[in-house]
Amino acid sequence: MIDSSLDNFNTEPMEKPASPARQTWKMFSSNQSAVAGLILLAIVLIFSLVGPLVYQVAPTEMVWMPLTPPLESEYLLGTDYLGRDILAGLINGGRITIAIGASAALLTIVIGVTIGALAGYYGGWVDNLLMRVTEFFQVLPNLLLAMVVVMLFSATLTNIAIAIGIVSWTSTARLTRAEFLRLRSMDYVRAERSIGAKNRRIIWAVILPNAAPPLIVSAALSIGTAILFEAGLAFLGLSDPNNMSWGRMIGDNRPYILDSWWGVTFPGIAIFLTVLAISLVGDGLNDALNPKLRKR
């Protein structure tokens, strides 16, 4: 006699496995630090993108007496050495700072992924040549090289982003190379070769999507690194004089830090919070995209 429990077993609906995207989000959302970083990053973006529409004060306009402390006038965060509104500079400078960071990170990823992918996939003399180029850029002082590029081609936003991207791609290239060396001998890559797929398709359509998780994390962290680079260049006086950024605010008010701490402190706090938020989100993505941690 067949046990009736088998009928109940067969009639129960099987639970569908969660999609990779849902598993990634579940892992990410369970990380409290990552969620806090995402919320903080969203606040910074809203502050920088929507703020100028609400607080319509020009960041370069002299609106009050110079070096006015916070809370001592109608301008909440005080004024700098020229009488410019610090709050207006923070709001408008956020867009420029984040734009430079994102643009430089994009260039970093493009250069690093291209060189790392070609080196890891082809190997041999291609790998040796590209890795020697990578080592050459890696041993150069990054900030000094970026300063030279900006001084040679003028301190515009485009040149600053290009300079940061040129000096920051080496770690991404090495990470990409390591992933391609690991993945190029996988069965699905061999299957693509067996059906006559071209190298271009195997590199960009087969291996790269599978190497994407650590590269996504690297891209997120590159934005924070680029923001710090821009602040360092501006601190040394290499910022775009036609656009306000957090780094430029620090650079402009640096000589007056002993008399007006707020001119340097507030943009410094903005940079710190933004980089912290990006780092927390990057760490959360690293955990969420790691298949070994996802299975726990």
pLDDT at 220 over 90: no
Which has the closest alpha carbon to 94: 153, 142, 52, 35?
52
What does the pLDDT read at residue 180? Answer: 94
What does the pLDDT read at residue 5? Answer: 47
The pLDDT of 266-288, averaged and rounded, is 91
pLDDT at 295 over 80: no
**Cα 104 to Cα 164: distance, rounded to the nearest angstrom:** 6
What does the pLDDT read at residue 212? Answer: 87
What does the pLDDT read at residue 292? Answer: 57
pLDDT at 141 over 90: no
pLDDT band at 265 (very low <50, low <70, confident <90, very high): very high
Contact between 188 and 202 (Cβ < 8 Å): no
This prediction has a pTM of 0.85
**Cα 183 to Cα 205: distance, rounded to the nearest angstrom:** 13
Task: Quick: pLDDT tens for 182-219.
Answer: 998 899 899 988 888 899 999 999 999 888 888 988 88
Phi-psi region of 55 (alpha: psi -120 to 50; beta: other; left: phi over 0): beta
Task: Quick: pLDDT tens for 32-82.
Answer: 999 999 999 999 999 999 998 999 888 888 888 998 999 888 889 999 988
Distance of CA 134 to CAs 32, 105, 173, Å? 37, 17, 8
Q: Pull the structure tokens for residue 126.
A: 């291609």
Contact between 60 and 96 (Cβ < 8 Å): no
Contact between 100 and 164 (Cβ < 8 Å): yes
Task: Quick: pLDDT tens for 90-136.
Answer: 999 999 999 999 999 999 999 999 999 999 999 899 999 999 999 99
What is the average pLDDT score of the chain?
87
Q: Pull the structure tokens for residue 116.
A: 């790392």
**Cα 295 to Cα 241: distance, rounded to the nearest angstrom:** 51
**Cα 262 to Cα 268: distance, rounded to the nearest angstrom:** 9
Distance of CA 205 to CAs 117, 189, 198, 200, 201, Å? 12, 11, 10, 8, 5
**Cα 73 to Cα 75: distance, rounded to the nearest angstrom:** 5
Residue with tokens 């960071």: 101
What does the pLDDT read at residue 9? Answer: 46
Contact between 221 and 275 (Cβ < 8 Å): no
The pLDDT of 4-18, averaged and rounded, is 51
Domain regions of the chain by residue span? 32-65+73-109+141-167+212-294
Contact between 40 and 273 (Cβ < 8 Å): yes
pLDDT band at 17 (very low <50, low <70, confident <90, very high): low
pLDDT band at 1 (very low <50, low <70, confident <90, very high): very low
Phi-psi region of 67 (alpha: psi -120 to 50; beta: other; left: phi over 0): left
Residues 6+ apart with CB under 8 A from 195: none
Which has the closest alpha carbon to 150: 162, 138, 142, 141?
162
Instruction: Please list the residues that pair with 79 across neighbouring strands.
Output: 85
